[in-house]
Amino acid sequence: MYTPERERELIERTRRYLKDLNKLKGASREEAEKFIEELREVIRYHDYKYYVQASPVISDYEYDQLFRLLRDLERKYPSLVSPDSPTQRVASEISGSFPEVSHYAPMLSLDNAYGEEELIDFDRRVRELTGEEEIEYSVEPKYDGAGIALVYENDIFVRGATRGDGEVGEDITPNLRTIKSIPLRADFSAFGIRLIEIRGEVLISRDEFRKMNEERLEEGLTPFANPRNASAGSIRLQNPAEVAKRKLHAVVYQVSYVEPEFSFPKTHYEAIKMLHLLGFKTPFPDMKVFSDIRRVLDYCREWEERRDEYPYELDGMVIKVNKRSLYESLGFTSHHPRWAIAYKFKARQATTQIIEVIFNVGRVGTVTPVAKLEPVQIGGVTVSSVSLFNEDFVREKDIRVGDMVLVERAGDVIPYVVEVIKEARKGDEKPIIYPEKCPSCGSKIVKLPGEVAWRCINISCPAQVIARLKHWGSREAMDIRGLGEQTAKALYAHNLVKDVGDLYFLKPFDFAKLPGFADRSAMNLYEAIQNSKNRGLDRVLYGIGIRYVGLTTARKLAQAIESIWDLRSMGEEKIMEIEGIGEIVARSIKEFFSREENLKVIEKLEKAGVKLRRDRLEIEGPLRGKVFVFTGSLDSFSREKVGEIVERLGGTFSNSVTSKTTYLVVGKDPGRTKIEKAKKLGIQTLTEQEFIEMIRTFGDPEQLVSEKQSQRTLF
């Protein structure tokens, strides 16, 4: 047990160690001897906070830094190692409510590399230990979800377990059986395999995660901090029917055990290819093999740059020696295999202090507490404020002004207070008190029955109008560059707009009146607004600000109707017939269209020429957001067919290479300019074969073209 004083002391020590890391790394034996036991104490304390109390007070990255400091010192001065050092064991995560099962092979974790040098060291070690000049590495994404092990016996999925302490995990088979990307039967016998254990990760996509959190907030539940916690929480639910409702996926990335022994695939690549062929979701085709560590590094960096374009949260790349015959000569440390390493992306958590809490009024009048933070860098972005969502969230986490908090910003997910570091409290932290009146218009705020949020119900409240303008201009809505909060405020203050419809009737000289606007910037904003007219029906539906209509719901609606006006004439029942639309959303849509002032805004938009109709199938698919350009001729398909396939899978087909291009597919006799441009912009090129392999993972290309009408669920 730790007394509050001791905890404070340990946290202070943590800060000091982290600050002096470089100096401590170079400590002499005598110097190290003086602080190494204290360093162990600090690490033990963080182990306890993380594993026992489930409330870590430092980020994973910071923990890793401390752990490595200890490990490196112990390596340098082996006489200082003690048998009870935190480096001498694997920590446990068992919670006790599921039956325990032993894994066939221990589930070790991976050693981490935080940059170029450490990766090159890894390569050097591998070459030294194996005596090989050249090593083939297989490189694949590191998925940030919940680790699992699956067992198939005589082709049947017989058992699925969590990692647990690495030796013994929790048997969660009934829960995993609900995940559709885990085949219940797979033809392993065709590969001569009778029994196989496979490692993988349960994941939730960022879109689903966002939706899940929106729903949790509406229901008054605490949102999850990140997709990883959402996955880990979901697979441990006691009711498999509830698990089935969460949109979970499973990717498998390692074969850890097979019987009979000789049927083990010879390389990691082959093993994954086999799993892929048997119908599992795998890192394929994102898994690549290189025999030069520089190329490995380039590939890792490429992914780090684009990690936010991937539908799932990734925290790095995993580099594995491809040939299994080399595993034996490489062996294991007590924690990690020596034949693999994780190249970690930049950390997305940090600790900082809450300076004050203000109250924001949103576009539907919800009053949200927002914590202003001592600015802190997370994943290359400065975070200086974070939403505290609602009164329940504040109460559950017991957040106070002046508190030190652990903040996470995962991908494009909004920053989130993961934990309050209560141990760092000095006693002068102040509770957060809700205002009685709207901070913008001064009307009394109310809490409607059955809702968790306090709301200002004055529809012309300036804060609401400004928030609606800003939302309309946001990237995921109409993407109007230059229409941020400040401009929205200024437009309102100058009486130039009352709603989003007015934006389209403004002229460049109107903007030139605003503070800070020169002729050029006024013209730019004018053009940005005019250019936003064709963003598509889904974006209009999202941008217009109907309560409970988030991006995903807007997309579903846009696929089911022809024009925004359809929603005015459709009854609640009819709206609910649309896949994925429930009663609350349907009622909110009806209520939106029953208000005269909203119809007027839509009329204004229509008059201005904003597209309010659907013009092409807007597809949700695995290639959504990916832009393909082709050059040269392809053997297998005509250009037309290829475009159709890409679009069927939700991707976009474009004629010229720009910074928005995701892949350039190079066929026979390609154009030089496109290739050069792609090179300059660092855009990935694919051969025809690679392209075909990529789309094959989503189905038979021939069928993708012919089966036009039936949307498949591919991902």
- Encode 392-437 in three state secondary structure: HHHHHHCCEECCEEEEECCCCCCCEEEEECHHHCCCCCEECCCCCE
Nearer to ligand IVH, 142 or 471 (CB): 142
Structure-token pair, residue 602: 């839509």
One residue of 340, 421, 445, 575 binding ligand IVH per CB under 6 A: 340
* In the complex, minimum distance from the CB of residue 201 to ligand IVH, in angstroms, rounded to a whole number: 5
User: CA–CA separation, 410 vs 347, rounded Å?
Assistant: 9
**154 exposure class (CB count in 10 Å sphere: 0-12, 13-18, 19+):** exposed
Q: Which of 142, 281, 323, 470 is catalytic?
A: 142
Q: Which stretch binds ligand IVH (CB under 6 A): 335-343, 450-458, 493-501, 569-577?
A: 335-343
User: CA–CA separation, 540 vs 610, rounded Å?
Assistant: 9
Q: Which stretch binds ligand IVH (CB under 6 A): 45-53, 336-344, 515-523, 629-637?
A: 336-344
Nearer to ligand IVH, 169 or 651 (CB): 169
* In the complex, minimum distance from the CB of residue 273 to ligand IVH, in angstroms, rounded to a whole number: 15
Q: What are phi and psi of 398, to 5 degrees?
A: 50, 60
Q: For residue 605, what are the contacts with CB-CB under 8 A and spacing of at least 6? A: 500, 501, 504, 540, 612
Residue 108 touching ligand IVH (CB under 6 A): yes
* In the complex, minimum distance from the CB of residue 282 to ligand IVH, in angstroms, rounded to a whole number: 9
Nearer to ligand IVH, 163 or 246 (CB): 163
Within 282-311, the residues that bind ligand IVH by CB under 6 A are 283
Q: Which stretch binds ligand IVH (CB under 6 A): 137-145, 431-439, 672-680, 698-706?
A: 137-145
Nearer to ligand IVH, 138 or 553 (CB): 138
Radius of gyration of the chain (CA): 28
Q: Which stretch binds ligand IVH (CB under 6 A): 141-149, 431-439, 565-573, 668-676?
A: 141-149
- The distance of Cα 347 from the centroid of its chain, to the nearest Å, equals 13
Residue 544 touching ligand IVH (CB under 6 A): no
- Nearest residue to 307 (alpha-carbon basis) of 227, 376, 249, 375: 227
Nearer to ligand IVH, 212 or 342 (CB): 342
One residue of 122, 224, 253, 284 binding ligand IVH per CB under 6 A: 253
* In the complex, minimum distance from the CB of residue 236 to ligand IVH, in angstroms, rounded to a whole number: 15
One residue of 86, 147, 651, 667 binding ligand IVH per CB under 6 A: 147
One residue of 143, 269, 393, 542 binding ligand IVH per CB under 6 A: 143
Print the binding letters for residues 28-67 with ligand IVH: x by CB under 6 A, - otherwise: ----------------------------------------
Within 183-202, the residues that bind ligand IVH by CB under 6 A are 199, 201
Q: What are phi and psi of 302, to 5 degrees?
A: -55, -45
One residue of 183, 337, 365, 651 binding ligand IVH per CB under 6 A: 337
Residue 110 touching ligand IVH (CB under 6 A): yes
One residue of 11, 27, 113, 318 binding ligand IVH per CB under 6 A: 318
Structure-token pair, residue 431: 């509770």
Print the binding letters for residues 371-390 with ligand IVH: x by CB under 6 A, - otherwise: --------------------
Residue 330 touching ligand IVH (CB under 6 A): no
**DSSP secondary structure string for all residues of 117-132:** HHHHHHHHHHHHHH--
**With contacts defined by CB under 6 A, how many residues of the chain interact with ligand IVH?**
17
User: CA–CA separation, 699 vs 711, rounded Å?
Assistant: 12
Residue 264 touching ligand IVH (CB under 6 A): no
One residue of 254, 366, 368, 631 binding ligand IVH per CB under 6 A: 254
Residue 650 touching ligand IVH (CB under 6 A): no
- Nearest residue to 454 (alpha-carbon basis) of 378, 528, 361: 361
Nearer to ligand IVH, 411 or 415 (CB): 411
Q: What are phi and psi of 152, to 5 degrees?
A: -115, 130
My answer on whether omega of the bond before 285 falls inside 30° of 0, hence cis, is yes
| 159, 101 Cβ separation under 8 angstroms | yes
Q: What are phi and psi of 553, to 5 degrees?
A: -65, -40
Closest residue to ligand IVH, judged by C-beta, is 147
User: CA–CA separation, 343 vs 299, rounded Å?
Assistant: 11
User: CA–CA separation, 341 vs 111, rounded Å?
Assistant: 5
* In the complex, minimum distance from the CB of residue 712 to ligand IVH, in angstroms, rounded to a whole number: 26
* In the complex, minimum distance from the CB of residue 259 to ligand IVH, in angstroms, rounded to a whole number: 19
Nearer to ligand IVH, 326 or 561 (CB): 326
Structure-token pair, residue 599: 């119809």
Residue length, the chain? Answer: 715
Residue 341 touching ligand IVH (CB under 6 A): no
Q: Which residue has the tokens 């698990």?
A: 243
Q: Partners of 199 in the beta sheet?
A: 149, 254
Nearer to ligand IVH, 164 or 621 (CB): 164
Q: Which stretch binds ligand IVH (CB under 6 A): 138-146, 224-232, 624-632, 651-659?
A: 138-146
| 143, 203 Cβ separation under 8 angstroms | yes
**DSSP secondary structure string for all residues of 470-523:** HHHHSTTTT--TT-SHHHHHHHHHTTS-SSGGGGGG--HHHHHTSTT--HHHHH
* In the complex, minimum distance from the CB of residue 36 to ligand IVH, in angstroms, rounded to a whole number: 25
The 8 Å CB, 24+ separation contacts for 92-97 are: 92/51, 92/164, 92/165, 93/51, 93/162, 93/163, 93/164, 93/165, 94/164, 94/165, 94/168, 94/170, 95/170, 95/236, 97/170, 97/236, 97/238
CA quadruple 635, 636, 638, 641: dihedral, nearest 10? -160
User: CA–CA separation, 91 vs 52, rounded Å?
Assistant: 10
One residue of 40, 103, 142, 400 binding ligand IVH per CB under 6 A: 142
Q: Which stretch binds ligand IVH (CB under 6 A): 7-15, 36-44, 62-70, 337-345?
A: 337-345
Structure-token pair, residue 614: 């659907």
One residue of 7, 123, 140, 429 binding ligand IVH per CB under 6 A: 140
* In the complex, minimum distance from the CB of residue 252 to ligand IVH, in angstroms, rounded to a whole number: 9
Q: Which stretch binds ligand IVH (CB under 6 A): 82-90, 142-150, 387-395, 672-680?
A: 142-150
- Respond yes or no: is residue 668 known to be catalytic: no
Nearer to ligand IVH, 317 or 546 (CB): 317
**So which residues are the catalytic ones?**
142
Q: Which residues bind ligand IVH (CB under 6 A)?
A: 108-110, 140, 142-143, 147, 163, 199, 201, 253-254, 283, 318, 337, 340, 342
